[in-house]
């Protein structure tokens, strides 16, 4: 496993549409392992491959819950070529953040429930219903695979403000 660099707004790669994974190979398994290490170190709960500059349709996620003793049991999941099959008309609002837009959080409204199809690391196809944080996170990460960021759901004023802030920071870092 290896820590990878997470690309940050305004990096243009974040707007790329990721390509489907043709086959689960050792390289794809290694990428998933690296993504978990990177995601946990960040720390985050979800990561799309494009966020580590790999434009393939691969997501890692861990929505681990704390038990009554305060212990966290990891629940790592991998989603290859995920797609949303259906969405509820009912919506929910969560405060979202993004490892590629560090320390910026805003409320985003999304469908409360979705049905998704994806392939796992064993090459098996699954269909699953998601709600709550899982629904929000999977939609957020699939958006990344399509070149969409959570700030795209905000008003133009808020979106422009955050893009300007990160562009200025990138210029300062390059000097």
Q: Does pTM top 0.85 for this prediction?
A: yes
Q: Which residue has 């004023």 as its token pair?
A: 157
Strand 58-62 to 101-111 pairing: unpaired
Residues with Cβ within 8 Å of residue 26, at least 6 apart in sequence: none
pLDDT of residue 73: 75
pLDDT of residue 95: 96
What tokens were used for 174?
């390059």
**Does the pLDDT value for residue 57 go beyond 90?**
yes
pLDDT of residue 173: 85
**Alpha-carbon distances of 70 from 44, 63, 65, 126, rounded to whole Å:** 18, 15, 9, 31
Q: Is 22 a catalytic residue?
A: no
**The dihedral sign for the CA sequence 124, 134, 130, 49:** negative
| Percent of the chain scoring above 90 in pLDDT | 88
Average pLDDT over every residue of 63-85: 83
pLDDT of residue 34: 97
Q: Which residue has the higher pLDDT, 2 or 73?
A: 2
Q: Omega of the bond prior to 2 within 30 degrees of 0, cis?
A: no
- Would you say 89 and 118 are in contact if contact means Cβ atoms under 8 Å apart? no
**Does the pLDDT value for residue 65 go beyond 80?**
no
Domains of the chain, start order: 12-174 (3.90.45.10)
CA neighbor of 144 nearest in space, from 93, 82, 66: 82
Catalytic one of 54, 96, 106, 141: 141
The pLDDT tens digits for 86-138 are 999 999 999 999 999 999 999 999 999 999 999 999 999 999 999 999 999 99
């Amino acid at each position: 496993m290896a820590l990878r660099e997470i690309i940050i707004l305004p990096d243009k790669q974040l707007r790329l549409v990721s390509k489907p994974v043709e086959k689960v190979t050792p390289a794809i398994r290694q990428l998933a392992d690296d993504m978990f290490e990177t995601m946990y170190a960040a720390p985050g709960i979800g990561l799309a491959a494009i966020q580590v500059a790999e434009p393939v349709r691969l997501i890692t996620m861990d929505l681990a819950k704390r038990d009554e003793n305060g212990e966290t049991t990891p629940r790592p999941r991998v989603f290859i070529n995920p797609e949303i099959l259906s969405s509820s008309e009912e919506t929910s609002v969560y405060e979202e953040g993004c490892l590629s837009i560090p320390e910026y959080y805003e409320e985003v409204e999304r469908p409360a429930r979705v049905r998704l199809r994806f392939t796992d690391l064993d090459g098996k196809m699954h269909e699953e219903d998601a709600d709550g944080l899982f629904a929000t996170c999977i939609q957020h990460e699939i958006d990344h695979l399509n070149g969409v960021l959570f700030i795209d759901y905000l008003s133009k004023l808020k979106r422009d403000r955050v893009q300007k802030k990160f562009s200025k920071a990138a210029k300062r870092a390059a000097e």
